[in-house]
Amino acid sequence: MTDSKYFSTTKKGEIFEMKAELNSDKKEKKKEAVKKVIASMTVGKDVSALFPDVVNCMQTDNLELKKLVYLYLMNYAKSQPDMAIMAVNTFVKDCEDSNPLIRALAVRTMGCIRVDKITEYLCEPLRKCLKDEDPYVRKTAAVCVAKLHDINAQLVEDQGFLDLLKDLLSDSNPMVVANAVAAISEIMESSPTAAQVLELNTSTTNKLLTALNECTEWGQVFILDAISNSTPKEEREAQSICERVTPRLAHANAAVVLSAVRVVMKLMEMLEQTGDYYTTLLKKLSPPLVTLLSAEPEIQYVALRNINLIVQKRPEILKNEMKVFFVKYNDPIYVKLEKLDIMIRLTNPGNIAQVLAELKEYATEVDVDFVRKSVRAIGRCAIKVEQAAERCVSTLLDLIQTKVNYVVQEAIVVIKDIFRKYPNKYESIIATLCENLDTLDEPEARASMIWIIGEYAERIDNADELLESFLEGFQDENPQVQLQLLTAIVKLFLKRPTDTQELVQQVLSLATQDSDNPDLRDRGYIYWRLLSTDPAAAKEVVLAEKPLISEETDLIEPTLLDELICHIASLASVYHKPPSAFVEGKSGLRRVLPPRSQSGNVDEANVTAEVPQQQQPTVIPGADSLIGDLLDMDLGGPSMQQMYPPSVPTSQTPIQSSVAMDLLGEGLDSLLGPSTLGGDVLGGLGDIFGMPQSQSYVPPQEVWLPANKGKGLEIMGTFARKQNQIFMEITFTNKAMQNMGDFAIQFNKNSFGLMPAQPLHIRTPLPPNQSGSTSLPLSTNGPVQKMDPLTSLQVAVKNNIDVFYLSCLVPLHVMFVEDGEMDKRVFLATWKDIPSQNEVQFTINNVQHNGDTVSQKLRNNNIFTIAKRNVEGQDMLYQSLKLTNGIWVLAELKIQPGNPNFTLSLKGRAMDVYSGIHGAYETVLHN
């Protein structure tokens, strides 16, 4: 008789009856009662009231009854934790039972009872089971360690279970090894400390590869996944692993095949790409992937999604297998679409004719989605293989002649892309496209047609009428169509201004006054402003030459692709997204491919890490240390870390950051939260609307050489920073009775290596009582010597009368460079890394600005606000700046509402520059 009878009764007082039966002396009656309880539990009835009675039934030798009781326990232990403790003694006893099945059952159930109170009682039984003589018990215990780690990670690490688990990797039984690997992989995902203990080394990897041949298929998957997550130390080791893994490519189970593919794809990165073994591996990878495509549709789809990634990374693997991806009539739609995508990726001049014939055939199918994708594929072929573009265009024209609405619309969308790729080549077909104008009802097709009309308005006689026909229902159009129509009419106006003025006014009015779409309104206002203030500029912006579109617009970004290759055979490879994007709470290290094969790349990496430390700018050299060129010390590379190495502390010593924590109230880490910066509110669009561009402060000119000391020559000057360069603004006045000429200028050694970047250009001869001005660009490539004061500059000026010497002070803010904006995280690490004794405070008195205007003023002078916070009512601005010689300085500016006196704290490696920077703040904020 079947067990269905247990699900058919729903009597009143049933719980009471079951309670009586559970306490019966007869074993059979007890077993029947437990089955009834489990049946009630399965259909959702609450039978938790029977907990003590069911637990009493644990004391039995009957394996079936024990399993049922354990099942009940797992379900109700969480809701009855106090009762569950009653079962602990039985678990401990069962873990020492003579029957290995009972020992394994006890340890499995222990792992499934997720109650904190119980876990500590389970450590001893689990430790015994991990060393059990029976492999079935050991393999069950290995999985239990992973479950226990999930409940209480600290307990597992403290009790030494990780080491016991690692010992199981050397077990004689392959299934124990496989389960140990599965448990280790699970634990390493969630715990960085465990990862250090459990990291695989060469000898462990060899043991796993030995066990690989004797495991079940799922054991093989676990082992292959673990091997793929470790990186060999050298190319020879990678090759050895590949040789031992490649036989798995012929396995009957698709999961094993794809896991083996993942290992090989990852390790190929380390192999010499010109070597014979690399070529052999490429050939070996092709047949298993092709074989997967003869499986059932669901497996085909998973295989195709993985192949899509593999083809993007290494197209040469399947370059000769195009026919495998041709669509079969009975393929499900999801398989068809995926095959189509891979066909395009494998298309080349050699197989394009074959592919086009297939695609044309697909375009006459009945499945609308598939037909659309096929038509798009023809366009992608044209863009990818230039030799076949003409044939693709004629195929698309043939499809347009079929007059099938959705085919025509897709064809127009892809023809727009072909026009972008091959300008002035196929425009003769525009007339044919215009014939189908009335049939277009999809936004993308309408937008594409409007783009074609606007782009080639000069070749279409009735372009204005065509665009006007779209304008009639402007408000009902999709935003994509509205935006395209606005741009197309502006293009038409710029090409034919005389007869389209009314049309452009109409569309601008519709876009700016009648529309509530902010994107459309903004674009309308920008066009309106451009056309009304500077039509020439409008022409340059709107009719600018467009970049050619790339061959593959839908390729996965390279770093993401590398990460997904490390996740082949997992859900990430099907979604084409990293696990963190779809698994809630999934964190941990991002997987990356191993570095490419290079001799001695480890040493090279170490050298490159050390170089910036040696070159770190510390202080400006004194006159006695004759360092020729401060630029040698400028690290100026692409990344902030290179430019300022201390931001990534290399030492392992803890950094004393208590001062910084007090200074910043809530602690520096809150800098990484959202910040309000006083940046350009218009995002750089101010100049389009005729607003003045932000400029750094230029001090007024002062007399550097009075006429009585210059034999009638008076020199006035100042310094300015514009277009990322320092300029010396000089005015020469001739107060003598004769003409002056032959002007030249030279600088003495100075703190920042300033020197003229070009000869002095001044009007000569300079007549008496006349002035001549010039803007002399300066470079910082000159000889360096520390001056006192730091910004002092000694200048020699020569003319036809004599040589004159003068001295002036360069305002330090002109030395602040444009790339002085630090990343928030770099700023945070740098601030913590600089010793607290390097921090100096200054007071800036009588400043009539608030936090936002201060931030903007300073940004105009290349002092960048990294973050802004409000602590106890006062604004705190965290700022960074960089001098021309590569020296960085960090600043904190405290602003109290209603108090005109600001507190400035400076922190950096070179404290000599502090007084000059304080002076720069004073100058900028008071002018």
Intra-chain end-to-end CA distance of the chain, in Å: 98
Above 60 in pLDDT, residue 579?
yes
CB 223 within 8 A of CB 208: yes
CB 565 within 8 A of CB 313: yes
Task: Tell me the residue type at 57.
Answer: C
Burial of 543 (0-12, 13-18, 19+ CB in 10 A): middle
CB 39 within 8 A of CB 7: yes
User: Tokens representing 911?
Assistant: 């404290």
Determine the Cα–Cα distance for residues 48 and 372; give it in Å rounded to an integer: 57
Q: Determine the 3-state secondary structure of 775 from DSSP.
A: strand
What pLDDT score does 121 carry?
76
CB 223 within 8 A of CB 211: yes
Question: Is pLDDT larger for residue 47 or for residue 904?
Answer: 904
Residue 23's pLDDT band (cuts 50, 70, 90): confident
Residue 662's pLDDT band (cuts 50, 70, 90): very low
Above 70 in pLDDT, residue 606?
no
What pLDDT score does 597 carry?
54
What pLDDT score does 717 carry?
94
Backbone angles phi, psi at 92, to 5 degrees: -60, -40
Q: pLDDT of 251-304, one tens digit each?
A: 888 999 999 999 999 888 888 888 888 888 888 889 999 998 888 999 999 999
> What number is the average pLDDT over the span 763-770?
86
User: Tokens representing 478?
Assistant: 């999709």
Residue 7's pLDDT band (cuts 50, 70, 90): low
What pLDDT score does 909 carry?
87
What pLDDT score does 128 carry?
85
CB 715 within 8 A of CB 709: no
Residue 8's pLDDT band (cuts 50, 70, 90): low
What pLDDT score does 553 carry?
56
Determine the Cα–Cα distance for residues 856 and 845; give it in Å rounded to an integer: 19
Residue 125's pLDDT band (cuts 50, 70, 90): confident
Determine the Cα–Cα distance for residues 766 and 763; give it in Å rounded to an integer: 6
Determine the Cα–Cα distance for residues 856 and 696; give it in Å rounded to an integer: 11
Q: Give residues with Cβ within 8 angstroms of 290, minimum separation 6.
A: 318, 321, 324
How many CB atoms within 10 Å of residue 259? 27
CB 340 within 8 A of CB 376: no
> Which candidate, 917, 857, 866, places its Cα nearest to that of 887?
917
Above 50 in pLDDT, residue 524?
yes
What pLDDT score does 6 carry?
54
Q: pLDDT of 319-341, one tens digit each?
A: 888 888 998 888 899 999 999 98
**Residue 607 CA, distance from chain mean position:** 27
Residue 631's pLDDT band (cuts 50, 70, 90): very low
Q: pLDDT of 222-259, one tens digit each?
A: 888 888 888 888 888 888 898 888 998 898 889 999 99
Residue 64's alpha-carbon distances to 27, 68, 875, in angstroms, are 12, 6, 71
User: Tokens representing 833?
Assistant: 């890394």
Residue 586's pLDDT band (cuts 50, 70, 90): low
User: Tokens representing 844?
Assistant: 């800036």
Residue 97's alpha-carbon distances to 63, 88, 104, 145, 205, in angstroms, are 12, 14, 10, 20, 35
Residue 9's alpha-carbon distances to 39, 46, 472, 609, in angstroms, are 10, 15, 71, 74
User: Tokens representing 923?
Assistant: 């100058």
CB 636 within 8 A of CB 886: yes
Determine the Cα–Cα distance for residues 764 and 920; give it in Å rounded to an integer: 36
Residue 197's alpha-carbon distances to 140, 194, 377, in angstroms, are 21, 5, 50
> Which candidate, 463, 414, 405, places its Cα nearest to that of 434?
463
What pLDDT score does 729 carry?
92
Determine the Cα–Cα distance for residues 826 and 227; give it in Å rounded to an integer: 35
Determine the Cα–Cα distance for residues 807 and 791; give it in Å rounded to an integer: 10
Above 70 in pLDDT, residue 685?
no
Strand order of the sheet with strand 792-798? 744-747, 792-798, 803-809
Q: Determine the 3-state secondary structure of 800 from DSSP.
A: coil
Rg of the chain (C-alpha set): 38
Q: Give residues with Cβ within 8 angstroms of 735, minimum separation 6.
A: 707, 712, 713, 714, 768, 769
Determine the Cα–Cα distance for residues 588 and 925; give it in Å rounded to an integer: 46
What pLDDT score does 692 carry?
43
What pLDDT score does 197 carry?
67
Above 70 in pLDDT, residue 605?
no
- What b/e sequence results for 675-709 when a residue is b if at least 16 CB atoms lie within 10 Å of its CB, and e otherwise? eebbbeeeeeeeebeeeeeeebbbbeeeebbeeee
Give the residue ranges of DSSP H helices in 314-388. Answer: 333-346, 352-362, 368-384
- With tokens 């990496």, the residue in question is 605
Query: Can you state the angle between helices 352-362 and 333-346, rounded to 10 degrees?
Result: 150
DSSP-assigned letter for residue 548: P
* Mean pLDDT for all residues in the chain: 80
Above 70 in pLDDT, residue 687?
no
Residue 912's pLDDT band (cuts 50, 70, 90): confident
Query: Can you state the angle between helices 202-212 and 174-190, rounded to 10 degrees?
Result: 130
Q: pLDDT of 403-459, one tens digit each?
A: 888 888 888 888 888 888 888 788 788 888 888 877 888 899 889 989 988 888 888
Determine the Cα–Cα distance for residues 330 and 332; give it in Å rounded to an integer: 6
Above 50 in pLDDT, residue 539?
yes
**Residue 439 CA, distance from chain mean position:** 42
Above 70 in pLDDT, residue 647?
no
Residue 588's pLDDT band (cuts 50, 70, 90): low
What pLDDT score does 261 carry?
93
Above 70 in pLDDT, residue 679?
no
Task: Tell me the residue type at 425.
Answer: K
Residue 4's pLDDT band (cuts 50, 70, 90): low
CB 417 within 8 A of CB 379: yes
Q: Determine the 3-state secondary structure of 795 from DSSP.
A: strand
Burial of 653 (0-12, 13-18, 19+ CB in 10 A): exposed
